[in-house]
Amino acid sequence: MGKSIWVWLLLPVFAGCQSPAEENAQAQSDSIYRAAVTHERQLKDDAFAISPNSPFRDVKEEFTGLRYYPVSQEWKVQCRWDKSLSGNMVSLPDSKGQMRNYTVAGTFTFRMQDRECEIPAYFEESDKNTFFIMFRDSSNTTETYKGGRYIEFRRAGSDDIVLDFNRAFNPYCHYDHNYACPVVPASHIIPVFIRAGERRYNRIY
pLDDT digits (tens, 9 = 90+) for 125-167: 777 889 999 999 999 999 999 999 999 999 887 788 999 999 9
- Give Cα 118 distance to the centre of its chain: 13
Q: Distances from the Cα of 151 to the Cαs of 22, 62, 113, 197, in angstroms?
A: 31, 27, 19, 9
Under-70 pLDDT residues of the chain = 1-27, 60, 203-205
pLDDT score of 18: 63
Nearest to 102 by CA among 131, 70, 125, 129: 125
Nearest to 117 by CA among 167, 82, 70, 72: 82
Domain ranges of the chain: 1-65, 68-190
pLDDT digits (tens, 9 = 90+) for 186-199: 999 999 999 999 99
- Give Cα 153 distance to the centre of its chain: 9
pTM of the model: 0.84
